[in-house]
Structure 1
């Protein structure tokens, strides 16, 4: 629900918000410019200022001081009204008082879109939409980060999504303040707010006398110019007229003949709040704050762009769930933990089956877990994937912590279904951790934990039958996977290795497809990719894709993967049969958790066999010559030294600083973990200075590398687990 509340105001009011934010950002510059260009008097009283200006312009009618400190005088000259900015030291004119025409036009645009009341109403609607976006966006950021305390925790996911959240983290406070103050000012302009009454008023009869010099008036001598707002002079022909003095502390009337204070009124608390909110919104009186808010307002067009990209890109990734009831009215709560969106497809199938059986079902991300909202729930069903080696997927950040902290809902049963790939060591580890934590906390488990291997519809159907029996109903879950949009890739070249050591391996290079513009814009469909992303290959006769790490980026002009042929491998067998000119159907999946990044931190790359693929892509893209140390394991250098020639060239060019190899089929067999131990002192030094470790290859190799690194780092007090938490130890294992 929060996501819907956030999405539609942004889409519907997008253009209006862009106009308001950009005009507001530009307007924030003028108070600062005015502050810098104004002459600031030092220790000057209002009496002295009025005397100096009156000496130059005897017919002065009013003196005003703007929040920036600029002094403006108004007088009549030969019946013509005049005004000018004044030098407080001399009382003479220094600049025109007419506002900047562009500033005046921009103010009208920002306040009323160049219209009258109808425009003001529309801008108030825009401010309300901004408030909804800021509040709902803050909630979504907290959910994605895993809670309010983790507001600035590291993010993963597509670049547009991370950029959207990073901007929101910084700008949301300013947008909240700007939208609230804008709504207040809109209500005030339509007289929807009470101005409040003066807190104290003192009255006295005037003397009827005239002509006392302003320099002799005690009240004006006691009022510093820094507190002045305006001083209005009496009509010299009217003995009953008075001086009107407005300051930060209140408003007073002074007898023009004696200088005595006739009346005084202090602003009410309500008026003080209104003045403060005006200052906060316009920056008048707080130029630095105005610049900060203006800078934050520039986040709106950036978030509008990234938000549109996310909305456009996410439409096919997450299926629309029809008939999704509110959380407070649902009998069944369906929570989903997904990284790439595929788990939502199974959730949609389950939601439809339960709804067809008469159940009221509410589906939401696991990050929105809040039992207090589930007032009529009888069961909570959790479908979750696992990210990496047992971590929570993107839509389940913070779920385990919340599960451990909330009280058990007594009448509510719980069931957990994990999704993963049995070939990975952390198979459904996060789902299993959720089930074990729930049981330890005392939740009643509706059915035992089960897992779905490689998105198997059969596994899903078996779990559905068990769930239906526990619920006392027949539940047939017939899931039809939604196949991703695939593109034909034409093989350009291949290089074969490893036949002599019974490990046939090939480096396959394809021509990149040319997707349409509407797919390139959000970076979908091969519109944008880097080394470390995944190429999903759909083998003939199968609806389940196989994934290969990319050894190239879109700037290289080709798509490259490294494939080893497995004896019973359907996909690897078909790939090995390809010859230049043949095609294969494939799609792209981003893998932001295994990107080299753009920073200058040194990289320690560890790979064995086909795991060299993405690591080669990192070195190929290392145009900035960041320090890279590669540890590469192979069987024999004469058979499967993948990228041997390129590695030598990259080392000469500075794209690779150091290469260490390990061979398991030579007279003195060794493995990459042995090579790491041999360079232990240097590795420990690099890690202490901020180096990042990236490991790619089989899970047995990765486990050996982790153990070796733990030994190497033990004297420093660091561990692979600590580096992993800091994002400085990442794996891509298979």
Structure 2
């Protein structure tokens, strides 16, 4: 609900809110400029002295005003000719024209009404309302993503448009909410929708009937400092019954022109004080620094609009276009999808199509939209969930478990959970398993036991479909053909071969980046923007199912590099290791933000074995800031598969790599990276105590062995790998 409340005002009112924000940001400069350029009064100068000096310079003086930014302006009639000027309070002489700045006036009319008078004011009020809704809903979404209000500035992960969007929102959202709310207040006041709240000064019971009392001797003016003045209106010439009207920041008073006596005084009401404070907060008049700060925050609106649109577009691309999707309220079968890269949506669409052909009304939705109240006719819920990282929720399933935990009772309709993953990963279908356990703990009835699909296997999916059909009492054949991911053709530039002596052929393959258009570079699409640790999906010939390899370079390097080891019977590894320079391969990029080194200064402890050194080498290559990096690297034999040996020596020489510890499982003294860690336990503990981050890449057995070793090493310090992982200081890329 909050996400929809944030999304649609943002998309529908983006242009209007952008005009509102940019014009407001430009207007915020003028109060500060006026504050700096306004002539200053003499120290301790009172209103009486100022009025006497201006009246002497300008016969027929009618009014003196002081703006919140300090500019003093006078208006007069001299021989029937009106005049006005900005006044130097020290002399009473003219200091400049009183005519408004034409640029400021143009911007003000644009900001207030789009040059359309009252109709335009209403349109801009709608823009202010959209800005307020976006700010409040955005604040709620930031807090949700960060893990609560107390973690407002927690470290973010995910694709760059979403991270940039949230980073800007963290700084600007409350200022934008203030601007939107004050704009709505001022619009309501303009259209007399709010009470005035002003108390008029009481008419004096007795006026002296005299005139020409010296201005510099009037006590009411002499005791009032110029900094408190707002307006001084002079009596009409020749009317002995008229009086001076003095307005200040605390109230309004009437002064006898013949005696200088203060005849009456009315202070500002609480309502007036609130209204004036709101005017100050919105315009910056009287609070120039605050105005500039709010103006800077407003400049973030177009950037947040652009990144928000990119996030929305990415979400749209991740889902298929659903046809014949039954309304949520009429659906008999509800299919909820948890997907990171989009492939699970394809399986869900195949399932929905088969169930519709069986006579079911089917509603397909992301798991993040889970709300049983929307499905009063649901007879069953089917969850198709992939796993992100080490058992985390994928993009379209965020907050599902929180929503489930917050229900007063589990849905009456039974549930079946189907997990999607790769069995070679240790966290195979871990998120789906979490969903299954949480559902059972809440007492949610089971339609089928949880099942899994390995590596997008159509056979696994069809087998589960037949079991589902049996449970429903209908024949159900799920014939799913995985959509071939959109890929680009990459050309092999060079290769470095290793491992032949230990019967483990391995190669470092360097591929040329394809040419990309301007928009692709701006939007970061395809292979235009990536970091070491991201994943390169390779499409083997004769298969639509990609194989993923950790990237050992960044887009700034101008090439993409991976380390590949031949696996017995491996379709993709065999094809890759048969490539020669000039040969091509079909590939695409998948972001892996959970395994990026980041730009911080904290030390890195990198642990890898075999081809797991690939992304770790990429981190070291990109270490321009020379942050401390200690690499533990395991291999079979240093004479055979010491990957990146020459590169590591060069990086150590120029300070990108502080320390290298190797472990060879064959040779004179066989040992593994776990043994190397134990040998240097003291240094490891000291580095972690000082904030070092641990990053592990390699095979599943190696990663488990490293975790167990670190468990032992860190126990005396009261730390565990799990604790470090919760704090974002332990990351794994395991295959």
TM-score by length of 1: 0.91
Deviations 1:432-488 (A, max 9, x none): 122112212322233222222112233333334444554555554443322211112
Larger mean Cα displacement after TM superposition, 142-151 or 414-423: 142-151
Question: Offset of 1:89 from its aligned partner?
Answer: 4.9
SS in structure 1 of the partner of residue 523 of structure 2: coil
Deviations 1:376-398 (A, max 9, x none): 65544433222222222234344
SS in structure 2 of the partner of residue 639 of structure 1: coil
- Could you say which residue in structure 2 is the equivalent of 1:540? 541
Question: Offset of 1:536 from its aligned partner?
Answer: 0.6
- Could you say which residue in structure 1 is the equivalent of 2:83? 82
- Could you say which residue in structure 1 is the equivalent of 2:25? 25
Q: Write the distance in 2 (CA, Å) between the matches of 1:356 and 1:72.
A: 79
Q: 1:364 to 1:294 in 2, by over 3 A?
A: farther
Would the aligned equivalents of 2:201 and 2:252 in 1 still touch at CA under 8 Å?
no
Question: Offset of 1:421 from its aligned partner?
Answer: 1.0
Deviations 1:479-503 (A, max 9, x none): 3322211112222222221122121
Deviations 1:582-623 (A, max 9, x none): 222111111111112222322211110010111122222223
Larger mean Cα displacement after TM superposition, 629-638 or 131-140: 131-140
Q: Write the distance in 1 (CA, Å) between the matches of 2:540 and 2:708.
A: 36
Q: Write the distance in 2 (CA, Å) between the matches of 1:468 and 1:225.
A: 86
Would the aligned equivalents of 2:412 and 2:444 in 1 still touch at CA under 8 Å?
no
Would the aligned equivalents of 2:201 and 2:254 in 1 still touch at CA under 8 Å?
no
Question: Offset of 1:252 from its aligned partner?
Answer: 3.9
Residue 686 (1) aligns with residue 687 (2):
yes
- Could you say which residue in structure 2 is the equivalent of 1:496? 497
- Could you say which residue in structure 1 is the equivalent of 2:596? 595
Q: 1:194 to 1:656 in 2, by over 3 A?
A: closer
Question: Offset of 1:640 from its aligned partner?
Answer: 0.9
Question: Offset of 1:733 from its aligned partner?
Answer: 0.5
Larger mean Cα displacement after TM superposition, 168-177 or 9-18: 9-18
Would the aligned equivalents of 2:485 and 2:544 in 1 still touch at CA under 8 Å?
no
Q: Write the distance in 2 (CA, Å) between the matches of 1:240 and 1:313.
A: 73
Q: Write the distance in 2 (CA, Å) between the matches of 1:700 and 1:580.
A: 33
Deviations 1:353-394 (A, max 9, x none): 556666565554434445566566554443322222222223
- Could you say which residue in structure 2 is the equivalent of 1:425? 426
Q: Write the distance in 1 (CA, Å) between the matches of 2:205 and 2:195.
A: 27
Q: 1:541 to 1:227 in 2, by over 3 A?
A: same
Would the aligned equivalents of 1:143 and 1:368 in 2 still touch at CA under 8 Å?
no
Residue 239 (1) aligns with residue 213 (2):
no
- Flag structure 2 segments of 5+ consecutive residues without an equivalent: none
Would the aligned equivalents of 2:21 and 2:299 in 1 still touch at CA under 8 Å?
yes
Q: Write the distance in 2 (CA, Å) between the matches of 1:615 and 1:431.
A: 30
- Could you say which residue in structure 1 is the equivalent of 2:708? 707
Q: 1:89 to 1:317 in 2, by over 3 A?
A: same
Question: Offset of 1:149 from its aligned partner?
Answer: 5.5
Q: How many residues align?
A: 733
SS in structure 2 of the partner of residue 593 of structure 1: helix
1:159-558 aligned at under 5 Å gives the runs 159-189=160-190, 191=191, 193-198=193-198, 202-207=202-207, 208-215=209-216, 217=218, 219-220=220-221, 223-259=224-260, 271-322=272-323, 332-354=333-355, 363-371=364-372, 377=378, 379-409=380-410, 411-471=412-472, 475-558=476-559
Question: Offset of 1:510 from its aligned partner?
Answer: 1.9
SS in structure 2 of the partner of residue 587 of structure 1: strand
Larger mean Cα displacement after TM superposition, 684-693 or 223-232: 223-232
Deviations 1:39-97 (A, max 9, x none): 36766554454344434445321121222233322223444433333444554444443
Would the aligned equivalents of 2:129 and 2:180 in 1 still touch at CA under 8 Å?
yes
- Could you say which residue in structure 1 is the equivalent of 2:669? 668
Question: Offset of 1:408 from its aligned partner?
Answer: 1.6
Q: Write the distance in 2 (CA, Å) between the matches of 1:644 and 1:529.
A: 24
Question: Offset of 1:732 from its aligned partner?
Answer: 0.5
SS in structure 1 of the partner of residue 99 of structure 2: coil
Q: Write the distance in 1 (CA, Å) between the matches of 2:479 and 2:251.
A: 75
Q: Write the distance in 1 (CA, Å) between the matches of 2:450 and 2:112.
A: 58
Q: 1:427 to 1:69 in 2, by over 3 A?
A: same
Q: Write the distance in 1 (CA, Å) between the matches of 2:246 and 2:435.
A: 69
Would the aligned equivalents of 2:501 and 2:640 in 1 still touch at CA under 8 Å?
yes
SS in structure 2 of the partner of residue 444 of structure 1: coil
Would the aligned equivalents of 1:146 and 1:367 in 2 still touch at CA under 8 Å?
no
